Structure 1
Amino acid sequence: MSLKCGIVGLPNVGKSTLFNALTKAGIAAENYPF
């Protein structure tokens, strides 16, 4: 059995930053106009 998880939220609230902090990945986090 595997576990899958997602991060859901409004634009520009820090989802990518949270993902990078949890996984120690170096994914670029940029602000995009909404």
Structure 2
Amino acid sequence: MKELFQHAAITDGITVRVAVNFLPEQSQPDAGKW
């Protein structure tokens, strides 16, 4: 599971994992959105 998701956080024994997917067409760096 760790290989599929780059980031994880644990709160009260519950692990939440997320994968980042950069989409340049939805990126607006000047507006603080990546």
TM range (shorter): under 0.3
Q: Report which structure shows greater RCO (CA 8 Å, sep ≥6).
A: 1
TM-score between both structures, scaled by the size of structure 2: 0.20
- More helix, by proportion: 1
- More strand, by proportion: 2
Higher Rg of the two aligned structures: 2
